[in-house]
Amino acid sequence: MNFPKTNLLNRFLHYVRFETTSNPNCSQSPSSEGQIKFAEFLSQELQSIGLQDIQISEKGYLTAILPSNLSHSTPVIGFISHLDTSPDFSAKDVNPQIITDYNGEKFPLGADGTLFLDPDVFPELKALKGKTLVTTDGSSLLGADDKAGITAIVSALEYLVQHPEIPHGAIRVGFTPDEEIGRGADYFDVDSFGADWAYTIDGGAIGELEFENFNAAGAKIHINGKSVHPGYAFGKMLNASLIASEFIQKLPSNETPSTTVDYEGFFHLTNISGDVSKANLEFIIRDHNSDIFENRKIRILEIADELNKKYGRDTVNVEMKDQYFNMKEKIEPVMHIVDLAKQAMEKAEVKPLIRPIRGGTDGARLSYMGLPCPNIFTGGYNFHGPYEFLVLEYLQKSVETIVNICLMASEINE
């Protein structure tokens, strides 16, 4: 199969011009206007390609179908990516750099020479000599998470339309808003989507095939202090910021994102603010093991209780909310869908890299909503920041994997 790199590159570069940062402080869906604008553009593009039943829901979910070209019945499969980019870093005025025939050495992001992609810091670069890299200019993230996934899906469907000799069953497409702030599945209508199973195209390194993810929760810690003139504070002042620091110190210092790998979970402090009177901490809590995950949440509550006993009732208050759960439980009974994706990668001469996601996707929640949904690579790296980059040749392989899945699924008789 031949997927022209130029076509893929141009499509991706056009997509990243849409600023689609999701907004965690907005309760509406979608949480930002840019996501709707992007969905409307994609709707027109899908129509021009030849897809049918294209709809954008009032909540910003774009769905479409490529009808079957078979005379027999086969499972309906879906492909899902998300419209938004992370609020962790600016996605305004994305200005990509194209590095052709990468020489394997350190190079700057942008002209000011302050940020670099360095193989000594990012060792994955060492295997990419000769590849085409799409990087940031250091002033924004790139948006490969997940505009690379959308590029792969749209390009694969376009290829199938242009090559009607390739047999395929009905294929459903779903582009969701606000995945990056944990709401991507909130208003996803699994029943009307009508797929037997689906794949999120939202992974990173080439070959990634994931059906395990973290159990996830968020915790907001509100600390009430007592502000008194420091000259008269003895026995009276409660410094909320110092209590916040004490709270942090009670968590294990070796269980953070930067000190854990593979199946190891963590507590991640994502935000801290405060003064003497008030302080706030925000954590995300992650673990693949459900029992350890529950114990992590209990530990947060125990620390709050310890500090309340020390400083007085209601000094520390906790808001805790589960976000998603490990989809392994829902995928293992239907492992043939993982095997199919694995075979599709091998057919594309890609070595499957089956490992747990140190995060989550829409697929985690959708799996619990009745739509089993493993995750497949896009060829993007270092998401959510200025060091993000995409390997164009690996994006090609993602497209080829999707086409192979469609082809191989057509051989399954219901």
Residue 266 contacts residue 258 (beta carbons within 8 Å): no
Residue 391's identity, in one-letter code, is V
Residue 68 to residue 160: CA distance in whole angstroms: 11
> What is the distance, to the nearest Å, from the Cα of residue 246 to the centroid of all Cα atoms in its chain?
32
Residue 221 contacts residue 280 (beta carbons within 8 Å): yes
Query: Is the backbone peptide bond immediately before 30 cis, with ω within 30 degrees of 0?
Result: yes
Annotated catalytic residue, options 178, 179, 208, 388: 179
Residue 371 to residue 77: CA distance in whole angstroms: 10
Residue 14 contacts residue 134 (beta carbons within 8 Å): no
Two structure tokens written together for 227: 């502000």
Residue 412 contacts residue 348 (beta carbons within 8 Å): no
Residue 60 contacts residue 42 (beta carbons within 8 Å): no
Residue 277 to residue 404: CA distance in whole angstroms: 60
Alpha-helix runs per DSSP H in 55-189: 144-162
Residue 324 to residue 308: CA distance in whole angstroms: 29
Per DSSP bridges, beta strands 116-117 and 107-108 are antiparallel
Residue 388 to residue 146: CA distance in whole angstroms: 12
Residue 128 contacts residue 102 (beta carbons within 8 Å): yes
Helix (H, G, I), strand (E, B) or coil at 94: coil
Handedness of CA 36, 39, 44, 45 (dihedral sign): positive
Two structure tokens written together for 213: 């993810």
349 is catalytic: no
Alpha-helix runs per DSSP H in 187-282: 190-193, 240-249
Residue 317 contacts residue 332 (beta carbons within 8 Å): no
Burial 58-90 (b: 16+ CB within 10 A, else e): ebbbbbbbbebeeeeebbbbbbbbbbbbbbebb
84 is catalytic: yes
Annotated catalytic residue, options 84, 158, 210, 287: 84
Residue 89 to residue 142: CA distance in whole angstroms: 10
Task: Provide the annotated active-site residues.
Answer: 84, 179
